[in-house]
Amino acid sequence: MPENLLDTLIELQPEILKATGETLLMLAICLSVALVLGGALGILVFLTSRGQSLERFRGFNLVTNGVINVVRSFPFIILLVAISPFTRVIAGTSIGPLAASVPLSIAATFYFARLIEQTLRDVPRGVIEAAEAMGASPLQIVRHVLLVEARSGLVLAITVLAVSFLSYSAVAGVVGGGGIGDLAIRYGYYRFQTDVMVITIVLLIALVQSVQFAGQWLARRMDKR
Amino acid sequence: MSATPASTPAIALKGVSRRFTDPGGGEVGVRTTDLVVPQGEIHGIIGFSGAGKSTLLRLVNLLERPDAGEVIVHGQNLTRLSASGLRQARHRIGMIFQHFNLLHNQTVAENVALPMRIAGASADHIKKRVATCLDFVGLAEKADVYPGRLSGGQKQRVAIARALAPEPHVLLADEPTSALDPRTTLDLLDVLADANRQFGVTILLVSHEMEVVRRLCHRVSVMEGGRIVEQLDIANGAIPEGSLLASWLADFGAVGPAASPSPTQSEATAPAPHHFALEAAHA
């Protein structure tokens, strides 16, 4: 069996490399989009929540909170299929890693917005108030207080996001999204090649472990409390 | 600062009020109140819990917006300013808090630099002021340490350095020593008195600790039920006889949550041994 596994590994090496590359591409795209758009959205939802500096925009808070909940209610595979016309407009196709990145980015954006909003709640109100008393604008509060004080929590939030969407990207394989999940389905599932299944799972475990380890290491280094 | 004549009060609150409803449905806050603090004065606000002391203090830099009335700091009517005008005005109003409110993920020097970075000062100016202010509070050697490694007294010193760094007209102090032990409290009062003497900064301080007010303040406003019910000059730490404050002192030994005349259950259980310790230290 181990020899068998090794043979398969050598035989499928180009496929495995390609799949890993596709997975990393999907992750890179959806994490970048989520970091920028989801991050901004999460910060805005936090700032407009009760007791914070932009509390007066309560309407925005209620609407955005609702939208985040709605998007997060969708099982990912349904979202993937439901928005495929939109995906075709953006990516020009509904197949392949680039196309899969569209629904991944949307799901990741709203997921991350919620993570960020909750992470920022850990910043003590008194510290934000001290900055307000100094005459800080909302943008300065974000830059000089929230992102500084919550930074290790933010790194952990990104870690959770990366791990979750590594497995979401595997789901994208179902609709021909490419990546490690696609490989597992095409060889491991449809062709009953258990050894391929084992290889892909080991690969995914290794990826998750390294992301988690790196995130925790960085978060610990950044926390000076 | 130079544009305002010395006769202009540092702080003038005119008919300010701010009402809250507490969780029990009762009304708390500040009822229509006036307060004038001349430039260079150290003015104390003392009273029992729930008297409205902190609310009154927070009205001065508009952390609380008054329901009615005007807030004038160094001749500038803050209540009429735009949001950005208010931010500008706040650059010159320092504030320190009971729980210090330092950034834990920034070094001591970065904390002191923060208000000046917010105000847009040059890097050169910031560096000079940080050094000056940390030197003033005696923590120059702690510049690169994170606040988590400091004692409570040291943290409050850093907070004072941070508040003084942008050269404020006015320093607001909200129960600055209430989280500290008696000895540290006395050290800290010296720092505040020095700041007043050296930089001429007007200090408005809220405390429920008699000894703090008596040692530090030139004048004191006594608050009860959201109003200032008495104003006294305190010369050499002596409380004028026949005043409400003198009778409180006689009745309770100190003015604090534990000594409140109508204490709630939770307040009644809070011990205040250090008030008595301070009394003893003074005697």
Q: Do the Cβ atoms of A41 and A140 come closer than 8 Å?
A: no
* Predicted pLDDT of residue B125: 97
Which whole-number Å values give the CA distances from A89 to A84, A85, A99, B38, B185, in the listed order? 9, 7, 10, 68, 67
From chain B, the residues in CB contact with A139 under 8 A are none
Q: Are the CB atoms for B52 and B29 separated by under 8 Å?
A: yes
Q: Which domain holds residue A46?
A: 2-222
CB–CB contact A144 B93 (8 Å): no
**Tokens representing residue A17 in the block:** 């490399």
Distance CA B164, CA B161 (A): 5
Q: Report the run of H or E that residue B78 belongs to, with start and end.
A: none
Q: What is the CATH number of the domain that holds A125?
A: 1.10.3720.10
What residues contact A17, with CB distance under 8 A and at least 6 apart? none
Secondary structure of residue A169 in the 3-state scheme: helix
pLDDT band at B241 (very low <50, low <70, confident <90, very high): confident
**Beta strands across the sheet bearing B227-233:** B93-96, B170-174, B202-207, B42-47, B219-224, B227-233
Chain B nearest CA to A110, separation (Å):
28
Cα separation, B224 vs A54, in Å, equals 33
Partner-chain residue, chosen from A135, A140, A145, that has the shortest CB–CB distance to B103: A145
Question: Quick one: closest CA in B to A151, which residue?
Answer: B105
- Residue A131: its pLDDT value, please? 97
Q: What pLDDT band is residue B272 in, cutting at 50, 70 and 90?
A: very low
Query: A131 touching B, CB under 8 A?
Result: yes
Q: What are the chain B neighbours of A135 within 8 Å (beta carbons)?
A: 86-91, 115, 118-119
Pairwise pLDDT comparison (A150 vs B236), residue with the higher score: A150
Helix (H) or strand (E) holding B12: strand B11-21
Decide which of B164 and A77 is more confident.
Answer: B164
Q: ipTM value, please give it.
A: 0.85
| Closest by Cα among B164, B181, B182 to B173 | B164
A197-201, A219-223, B152-156, B213-217: which range is least confident on average? A197-201
pLDDT in tens, B86-110: 999 999 999 999 999 999 999 999 9
Contact B168, B93 (CB under 8 A): yes
pLDDT of residue B173: 97
Strands B27-37 and B76-77: unpaired
Burial call B172-188: b when 16+ CB within 10 Å, e when fewer:
bbbbbbbbbebebbbeb
> Which residue of chain B comes nearest to A148, CA vs CA?
B105
Mutate to test the interface with A, among B87, B105, B174, B175 (most CBs of A within 10 A): B105
Lowest mean pLDDT among A84-88, A179-183, B136-140, B227-231: A179-183
**d(C-alpha B92, C-alpha B156), whole Å:** 19
Q: What is the pTM of this model?
A: 0.85
Contact indicator for A48, A142 with CB cutoff of 8 Å: no
Would you state the pLDDT for residue B254? 57
Q: Which residue of A has its CA nearest to B168?
A: A134
Domain count, chain A: 1
Provide, for chain B, the percentages of residues in helix, strand and coil under a 3-state DSSP scheme, each rounded to the nearest 5: 40, 25, 35
A144 lies within 8 A of chain B by CB:
yes
pLDDT at B3: 58
Residue B41 clears pLDDT 90, i.e. is over it: yes
**What was the pLDDT predicted at B24?**
73
Which whole number is the average pLDDT over B173-202?
A: 94
Q: Which residues of A touch B161 (CB under 8 A)?
A: none
pLDDT greater than 70 at residue B265:
no
Secondary structure (3-state) at B157: helix
The band of A2, judged by pLDDT with boundaries at 50, 70 and 90, is low
B281, pLDDT greater than 70 = no
Residues of A in contact with B104 (CB under 8 A): 149, 224-225
User: Could you give the CA distance from residue A138 to residue A57 in angstroms, rounded to a whole number?
Assistant: 13
Q: What is the pLDDT of residues A16-75, one digit of tens each?
A: 899 899 999 999 999 999 999 999 999 999 999 998 989 999 999 999 999 999 999 998
**Residues A157, A158, A159, A162: is their CA dihedral positive or negative?**
positive
- Tell me whether strands B11-21 and B219-224 are parallel, antiparallel or unpaired: unpaired
Average pLDDT of the segment spanning B233-245: 82
- Residue B258 is predicted with a pLDDT of 41
Q: What is the pLDDT of residue B283?
A: 32
Cα of A219 to nearest chain B Cα, Å: 12
Tell me the C-alpha distance between A128 and B118, whole Å. Answer: 13
Are A224 and B101 inside 8 Å of each other by CB?
A: no
Cα A102 to Cα A87: distance, rounded to the nearest angstrom:
6
Interface test with chain B among A120, A134, A154, by most B beta carbons within 10 Å: A134
Reference B158, options B114, B117, B121; nearest CA is B114
pLDDT of residue A178: 83
Cα–Cα dist B51/B69, whole Å: 19
pLDDT of residue A183: 86
Q: How far apart are CA B202 and CA A150, in angstroms?
A: 34
Contacts of B112 in chain A (CB under 8 A): none
The reported pLDDT for the residue numbered A3 is 63
Q: CA-to-CA distance for A187 and A191, rounded, in angstroms? A: 5
Q: How far apart are CA B33 and CA B56, in angstroms?
A: 9
A174 CA to chain B: closest CA distance, Å? 44
Q: What is the per-residue pLDDT for B61?
A: 95
